[in-house]
Amino acid sequence: MRRIIDNDFLTLLVRIGVGIIFVYASAYKIVEPGSFAKSIWYYHMMPGSFINPIALILPWLELLVGLALVFGVCYRGAVVWANLMTVAFILALSSAIVRGISIDCGCFKAAAASSESAWETLWFDLVLILFTIQLFLSRSKAWMLARH
Amino acid sequence: MKSTSSQLICLLLVAMFLGLVRNLVPANSIEYIGNWRTLSSGDEPIVPPTAGEGDPPFISIDVAQMEHSLGEAVFIDAREGAEFECGTIPGSISIPFEYLPDENIDLYVDSALGGMSKDRDMIIFCSGEECDLSLHLARNMQDFGYTNLMIFFGGAREWENFDLEIERRTECGE
């Protein structure tokens, strides 16, 4: 098991795949922070004054983490952030589902234009976290721009 | 470990910097601290952040319930037909905003309302706080000349949460 997790080629594939997902997910949010703020508001999980700062900062964090994973720069920090953000997304979606809030999650598109359901995205995130955990556990340091 | 925590902080600081700088660009910028409602209490109407000047007034569950019991106002459900069938405010008329025809929308709405007077009190609603359909339908109806519109933004969910009667035409799963 350890050898599979540490496999250089597997780790590279997962790094690039997860990195691209984070970069892709950040795109609309960076362009339309207002729509993303509204998506966050729909979850009713935090005080209103926190919503806009998160809508402004989180997309850039996603972008930086995605790029850091792909290129292997600030790698360990990016892996930890990828895990933390994925856990946060899972908790938010689960909470919305439990409370019966039928939302488009706003994960990849503005909520109003999105067709993804909370359930579909929750399953997606549950698969995603398996990959981010693999990155967290892997000791592979191959094909990275910066030495770690 | 120290390296990981410094990378964590470094990534966050750069993201904060980029986010704040990006917001200096006027296109699609937002206020740094928004004015978002946190909870619906039943005392005050729920007003969505997308509401604008000139929109019809938003009413609370209390006003919606009072109007319903008076029986004067017409309730309009803006959700799709399947949701309307599953459970709606009793006596509501279905005008599913997402399925309006591409042309002659005004004639379609007039027909759905049976040609009733355009100055009649009308209360438009959809699912709840995450749903903008009632707002969009109300704006369209304003353009068509309806003058006494109200939006009950708490919608069918708030109505049901207050244990008010729901009219179900078909049995649907949760």
Instruction: Mean pLDDT check: name the lowest of A42-56, A84-98, B135-149.
Output: A42-56
In a domain, A143, yes or no: no
User: Helix or strand or coil: residue A104?
Assistant: strand
ipTM: 0.90
What per-residue confidence (pLDDT) applies to A108?
Answer: 63
Q: What percent of chain B has pLDDT over 70?
A: 93
Q: Could you give phi then psi for residue A108, rounded to 5 degrees?
A: -120, -20
Q: What is the mean pLDDT of chain B?
A: 88
Domain count, chain A: 1
Average pLDDT score over residue span B19-47: 77
In a domain, A55, yes or no: yes
User: Helix or strand or coil: residue A117?
Assistant: strand
B92 and B8 co-located in one domain: no
User: CB within 8 A of A83, min separation 6: which ones?
Assistant: A129, A132, A133, A135, A136
Q: Domain of B153: which CATH number? A: 3.40.250.10
B103 and B149 co-located in one domain: yes
Distance, C-alpha B134 to centroid of its chain: 5
In a domain, B50, yes or no: no
DSSP state of A105: -
Which has the closest alpha carbon to B75: B134, B129, B163? B134
B15 and B76 co-located in one domain: no
How many inter-chain contacts (A to B, CB under 8 Å) are there? Answer: 104
What per-residue confidence (pLDDT) applies to B123?
Answer: 96
What per-residue confidence (pLDDT) applies to A106?
Answer: 61
Residue A115 pLDDT grade (very low, low, confident, very high; cuts 50, 70, 90) = very low
Crossing angle between the packed helical segments A48-71 and B2-22, to the nearest 10 degrees? 120
Range of the domain at A16: 2-137
3-state secondary structure chain B: CHHHHHHHHHHHHHHHHHHHHHCCCCCCCCCCCCCCCCCCCCCCCCCCCCCCCCCCCECCHHHHHHHHHHCCCEEEECCCHHHHHHCECCCCEECCHHHCCCCCHHHHHHHHCCCCCCCCCEEEECCCCCCCHHHHHHHHHHHCCCCCEEECCCHHHHHHHCCCCCECCCCCCC
Residues B77-96 pLDDT 10s: 999 999 999 999 999 999 99
Strands B74-77 and B93-94: parallel
In a domain, B47, yes or no: no
CA–CA separation, B54 vs B121, rounded Å? 17
B2 and B86 co-located in one domain: no
Extended strands (E) in chain A: none
- Residues in A lying within 8 Å of B, measured between beta carbons: 30-34, 37-38, 41-42, 44, 47-49, 51-53, 55-61, 63-65, 68, 74-78, 80-81, 100-103, 111-112, 148
CA distances to A21, A59, A61, A120, B10 from A124, in Å = 11, 18, 20, 6, 28
Q: How far is A58 from chain B (nearest CA, A)?
A: 7
- Cβ contact, residue pair A32, B28, below 8 Å: yes
- Cβ contact, residue pair A49, B6, below 8 Å: no
**Chain B residues within 8 A of A58 when measuring between CB atoms:** 15
Instruction: Tell whether the model's pLDDT for residue A37 goes beyond 50.
Output: yes
Domain count, chain B: 2
User: Helix or strand or coil: residue A108?
Assistant: coil
In a domain, B131, yes or no: yes
What per-residue confidence (pLDDT) applies to A113?
Answer: 41
Q: How far is B72 from chain A (nearest CA, A)?
A: 31
What per-residue confidence (pLDDT) applies to A101?
Answer: 62
Average pLDDT score over residue span A133-139: 96
- Residue carrying the six token digits 């795949």: A17
Range of the domain at B139: 61-161
CB A93 within 8 A of CB B44: no
Residue B103 neighbours by CB distance under 10 Å: 8
- Cβ contact, residue pair B130, A42, below 8 Å: yes
